[in-house]
Structure formats: C-alpha cells, structure tokens
C-alpha cells in the first residue's frame, strides 16, 4: 500500500435487491491527488459516493480513511473525520441565506435541526469562517441572498462552500460542472486546483470529459458497478474497453454532456 493513501476502497459492493449497483470496487486515493471517477449513467458513481460518505452502508467490503475503517459510520461522523461531499442534485436550504447555508454545514453535526442551528450557531467566529469560505469560492457578493435565488452554477459553488464548512481533507464532488458553460467550468477547475494547493484531496464524479481529462491526474472508470480501467487521462481516453463502454451508451466518451 502506498504510504500517503488517504482513502482506500476495498472490494466494496452495494446491492439494491438483485441490482448490483456497486460490485466489488477497489481503488485508492492518495493525499494531494485530483482523481476523477467516470462512467456511463447508472455505473454506480453516486452510489459509491454515498457509500464513502456514509449515506449508504456497503453490502460487502471495507472503506478506510486515513487508515480508519469508516464503512458503518454515520454521515456526520465521517464528515467530522474530514470527508466533505457535494450532491449531484443540489440541496441548499432554499429559504436560508447563502451564508446561513454554510453555517448550517458547520453546525449540522452539532445541531441537527434548523431551529437549534438558528438559536445557537451564529457566533462571530462561525460567521467569520463562513465568510472566509464564501470569499474562497467566489460567493462573497451573494452572502445575504436567499440560496434558491442563485443560478445553478452558483448553487453548485454553494454546495462546495457547504462541503468546506467542516474543513475537509478529502472532498467528494458529484458532477459539480454539470450545466456550467465552458467559461464557468474553467473557473471551477481553477477553484478545484487551488483547493488542492491548500491541501485538500479531490475525488470527483464527472460526465464532462473535457473538464475531467484536463483537471484530473488519474481517472477511475466504473461500468456496471465495477472498475473497468484506471490510469492517466491519456491512457483512459485511448483504452478500447472504455471507448466500448461509452459507445454502448452515448456514442463517444463523455457524449451527452460534452
């Protein structure tokens, strides 16, 4: 095992009845990497994120974060250990301000209900940290806006801001570039690179191939719940099995969102 392995997914499976959504997946992510997780629709990418972040329990297998077993732990416990995540379907608290959404991300593990959050969590220190995060992701001008008034590109940034609230070591991004223009996607790539420079390791699910291939140093390809290939973007793009898997779905690697 590599010395600086941050995340180790070992023979992980998750079945839904007879459907093997994730079927014996193993891979590692080392500290400081930007790793892409790609694959056709239904390949099991989001299910794998749900398993790593504790929203689902594996049917089999083990997941280690910094050597600590996290399969079986609850989402809040895993978040506190340093695993942040975003959701493919953005889930802001629509009626709260952008700033309060980040505060909620900080306090969620302490004050699980919004009411308790409102009563206790507006400390000056917490607010200052929320504002630093908003500055970091380019949302400072929108701090007081209601979350649901943001366009989708900015809601995806808010998802990242909320995931940063607990100062994660590993950030799981589920299709953060979906629906973005090329320019917005390029800005998002810059943000992700700068987060990595600050010491955050990134594992990202992406359908936008240009985005993933430019940004990631290593790609893991899932297909029908299994790892089909793993390697550098160049190697993956020229892998016949990968091309074949995408041909069966959308005609070319990354077809539908490109």
Ligand X SMILES: Nc1ncnc2c1ncn2[C@@H]1O[C@H](COP(=O)(O)OP(=O)(O)OP(=O)(O)O)[C@@H](O)[C@H]1O
Choose between 83 and 106: whose C-beta lies nearer to Mg ion.
Answer: 83
Choose between 187 and 224: whose C-beta lies nearer to ligand X.
Answer: 224
Residue 24 engages ligand X in binding (rule: CB under 6 A): no
- Residue 31: contacted member of Mg ion, ligand X, none (CB under 5 to 8 Å, by partner type): none
In total, the chain counts a number of residues equal to: 258
The Cα–Cα gap between 193 and 83 comes to 18
Distances (CA, A) of 41 to 44, 46, 219: 8, 10, 16
Structure tokens at 247: 């041909």
Q: Which residue has the tokens 């917005």?
A: 184
The Cα–Cα gap between 88 and 206 comes to 10
Give the containing element (helix H, strand E) for 72: none
Stretches 40-48, 98-106, 133-141, 177-185: which one binds ligand X (CB under 6 A)? 40-48
Single residue of 28, 47, 101, 208 touching ligand X by CB under 6 A: 47
Single residue of 41, 67, 125, 151 touching ligand X by CB under 6 A: 41
Residue 53 engages Mg ion in binding (rule: CB under 5 A): no
Single residue of 2, 4, 19, 94 touching ligand X by CB under 6 A: 19
Residue 58 engages ligand X in binding (rule: CB under 6 A): no
Residue 178 engages ligand X in binding (rule: CB under 6 A): no
- Residue 36: contacted member of Mg ion, ligand X, none (CB under 5 to 8 Å, by partner type): none
Single residue of 13, 43, 215, 242 touching ligand X by CB under 6 A: 43
The Cα–Cα gap between 102 and 158 comes to 8
Structure tokens at 234: 């160049």
Single residue of 39, 54, 82, 105 touching ligand X by CB under 6 A: 39
Single residue of 46, 86, 208, 239 touching Mg ion by CB under 5 A: 46
Structure tokens at 87: 């959701």
Q: Which residue has the tokens 């994660």?
A: 168
The Cα–Cα gap between 131 and 45 comes to 32
| Cβ atoms within 10 Å, residue 96 | 18
Strands (E), the chain: 5-16, 19-30, 34-38, 60-65, 68-69, 83-85, 170-174, 201-205, 218-223, 226-231
Single residue of 10, 24, 32, 42 touching ligand X by CB under 6 A: 42
Q: Measured from the CB of residue 196, what is the shortest distance to Mg ion in angstroms?
A: 22
Q: Measured from the CB of residue 14, what is the shortest distance to ligand X in angstroms?
A: 8
Q: Applying CB under 6 A, which residues contact ligand X?
A: 16, 19, 21, 39, 41-47, 88
Residues that bind Mg ion (CB under 5 A): 45-46, 88
């Amino acid at each position: 095992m590599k010395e600086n392995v941050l995340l180790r997914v070992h023979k992980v499976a998750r079945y839904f009845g007879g459907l093997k959504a994730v079927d014996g997946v193993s891979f590692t992510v080392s500290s400081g990497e930007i790793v892409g997780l790609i694959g056709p629709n239904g390949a099991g990418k989001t299910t794998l994120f749900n398993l790593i972040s504790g929203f689902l329990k594996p049917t089999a297998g083990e997941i280690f974060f910094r050597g600590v077993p996290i399969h079986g732990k609850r989402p809040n416990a895993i978040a506190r250990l340093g695993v942040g995540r975003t959701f493919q379907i953005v889930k802001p608290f629509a009626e709260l301000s952008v700033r309060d959404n980040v505060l909620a991300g900080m306090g969620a593990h302490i004050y699980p209900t919004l009411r308790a959050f409102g009563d206790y969590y507006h400390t000056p220190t917490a607010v200052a940290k929320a504002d630093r995060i908003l500055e970091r992701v380019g949302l400072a001008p929108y701090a007081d806006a209601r979350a649901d008034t943001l366009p989708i590109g900015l809601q995806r940034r808010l998802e990242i801001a909320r995931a940063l609230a607990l100062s994660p070591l590993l950030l799981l991004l589920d299709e953060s570039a979906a629906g973005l223009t090329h320019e917005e996607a390029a800005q998002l790539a810059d943000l992700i690179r700068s987060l990595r420079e600050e010491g955050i390791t990134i594992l990202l699910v992406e359908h936008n191939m240009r985005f993933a291939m430019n940004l990631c140093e290593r790609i893991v390809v899932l297909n029908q719940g299994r790892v089909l290939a793993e390697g550098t973007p160049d190697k993956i793009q020229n892998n016949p099995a990968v091309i074949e898997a995408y041909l069966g779905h959308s005609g070319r690697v990354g077809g539908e969102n490109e």
